[in-house]
Each structure stands twice: as structure tokens, then as C-alpha cells.
């Protein structure tokens, strides 16, 4: 069966997450339903990462196996037609080898988290960013973030329901970007690693927000990391501001 890689964008708010669920809407379920319109049968797709309820994506990658050969452009166009009106779009599609896997072939995942500091509630960015009504110190947050970069036991920043075999991961980058606009400041946390633990990025951001607010010192992040204790973690940020923005492969199927 021919295999295709799909690059996917979605607004996560109306979904219970990526993973198919029997009684709740999911991104996986929406795409599999669209595939069934093209080839009537049960479809099972696999993604590079399973995002939680309310989490968005601008660069999720998944694979699908079809019974017939499709022109990649026509397959993406047909899927987008049948995905309407769901807030899910196929940005690109590529034919891949039978042994290529969206999850296991990936060597890097990139996430971005949007945090907006302003007094007024969000309107255009509602459900697309986390709003706080106080100022944050970007330099302090970056100093705290620097303690997390590298190979560590991230038990402190791991959800209690995480199913990963080990809490040891290597964080390649955690950069805090600041964007000033009239009436607000947006902080973007750019995070990169081969793989992540459940709620790891949201645990990072929630903890660093406490640093930016002055409730924690940057050095407290190191102490929390070394504690290897979930109770030492700061608050977990809401899912609204989290985006899966890219997945890296040794040979990018979308640039072949």
C-alpha cells in the first residue's frame, strides 16, 4: 500500500487532542474520516506526536497508507475538501517509502508557546495564547530556562500519567523571544528536542512564568530540576498557547 506523509495544521480548541477517541472529537478522527471518503474503509494514521486537548499545530506530521497511488497534491486537495468545516488543513503531502514512519523516523520536534502579558482579555488571540495580567522579566525567564538545556532527568517536569520509559531527555534549545505591541508584550518560548515527556513544555512555561513574575529566582529552576520531584514543579500552563511547529527528519519528505 502506498504510504504518504502529511504536514498538518490545526486549531486544537474544539478537539480532545490528537488521538482518536470513541466519544469525543479528535484531530486524528477528523483526518481518518476524510480519508474514508476517498477510500471507503477503516483508516489508521500515525503522527509524530500526540498533542493534548486544546494544543495547536502548524507543522504536525502524520502518515497514511492508501490502496491506490495518489498524486500527492491531489490527495492533499481532496482531504482538505472533506475536512471542511473542521479547523484542520493539510499543508503538504509527499510519497514516502514503506519503512518511513512519522513518529519513529523523526529526529527532532519543535514546539512554540505563546504567552501574552496585558490587562485586557484576549479577543483575536482567544484560545491561541495564555494571557497573564502582570509584567514578566524576559531575561530572568531565559536565565531560568538555561538551567534546563542539556541532558537531564526531567521527573520534576513530567506529568504523573506520562507513559515514557525514562524521564531522561536531552533538551536542545529553550529560547525566550519578546515581541512588543501596543498595549501588550508577547513572549514566545521556542523549544527543541528529539522527544518530550507528557506535559513537559507546559511545565517548563508555567515554571518560567513564575520566574518572570518574580515569584521564583532563576536559580530555583535548577533546584526544581535537581529535586526530581513533580511536587517541585511550578504551575502547569494551560494548553491554549502551545503549538507543535515542526518535526525534523534525516531526509525531509516535503523537500524532496
Residue 251 is a catalytic residue: no
Q: Are 195 and 109 in contact (CB under 8 A)?
A: yes
Cα–Cα distance, 47 to 50 (Å, whole number): 7
- CA contacts within 13 A on the Cβ side of 245: 15
| Catalytic residue chosen out of the listed positions 23, 52, 98, 172 | 52
Q: Are 116 and 131 in contact (CB under 8 A)?
A: yes
Q: Are 248 and 61 in contact (CB under 8 A)?
A: no
113-139: burial string, b at 16+ Cβ within 10 Å, e else: bbbbbbeeeeeebeebbbbeeeebebe
Give the residues across from 96 on adjacent strands.
3
* Cell digits of residue 182: 501596543
Give the distance, in angstroms, between the CA of residue 5 and the centroid of all CA atoms in the same chain: 18
| First CA to last CA distance, the chain | 20
> How large is the C-alpha radius of gyration of the chain?
19
Cα–Cα distance, 130 to 255 (Å, whole number): 33
- Give Cβ neighbours of residue 228 (< 8 Å, ≥ 6 apart): 153, 155, 156, 167
Q: Which residues are part of the catalytic machinery?
A: 52
Amino acid at each position: 500500500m502506498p504510504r504518504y506523509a502529511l504536514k498538518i495544521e490545526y486549531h486544537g480548541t474544539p478537539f480532545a487532542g490528537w488521538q482518536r477517541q470513541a466519544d469525543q472529537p479528535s484531530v486524528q478522527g477528523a483526518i481518518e474520516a476524510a480519508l474514508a471518503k476517498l477510500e471507503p474503509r477503516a483508516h489508521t494514521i500515525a503522527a509524530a506526536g500526540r498533542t493534548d486537548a486544546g494544543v495547536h499545530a502548524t507543522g504536525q506530521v502524520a502518515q497514511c497508507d492508501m490502496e491506490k497511488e495518489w498524486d500527492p497534491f491531489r490527495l492533499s486537495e481532496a482531504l482538505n475538501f472533506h475536512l471542511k468545516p473542521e479547523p484542520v488543513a493539510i499543508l503538504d503531502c509527499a510519497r514516502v517509502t514503506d519503512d518511513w514512519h512519522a513518529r519513529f523516523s523523526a529526529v527532532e520536534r519543535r514546539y512554540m508557546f505563546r504567552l501574552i502579558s496585558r490587562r485586557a482579555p484576549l479577543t483575536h488571540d482567544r484560545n491561541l495564547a495564555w494571557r497573564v495580567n502582570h509584567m514578566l522579566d524576559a531575561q530572568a525567564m531565559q536565565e531560568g530556562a538555561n538551567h534546563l538545556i542539556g541532558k537531564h532527568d526531567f521527573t520534576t517536569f513530567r506529568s504523573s500519567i506520562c507513559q515514557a520509559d525514562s524521564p531522561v531527555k536531552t533538551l536542545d534549545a529553550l529560547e525566550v523571544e519578546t515581541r512588543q505591541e501596543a498595549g501588550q508584550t508577547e513572549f514566545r518560548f521556542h523549544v527543541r528536542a528529539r522527544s518530550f515527556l507528557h506535559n513537559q513544555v507546559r511545565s517548563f512555561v508555567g515554571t518560567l512564568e513564575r520566574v518572570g513574575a518574580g515569584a521564583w529566582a532563576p536559580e530555583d529552576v535548577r533546584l526544581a530540576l535537581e529535586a526530581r520531584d513533580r511536587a517541585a514543579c511550578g504551575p502547569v500552563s494551560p494548553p491554549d498557547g502551545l503549538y507543535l511547529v515542526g518535526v525534523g527528519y534525516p531526509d525531509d519528505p516535503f523537500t524532496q
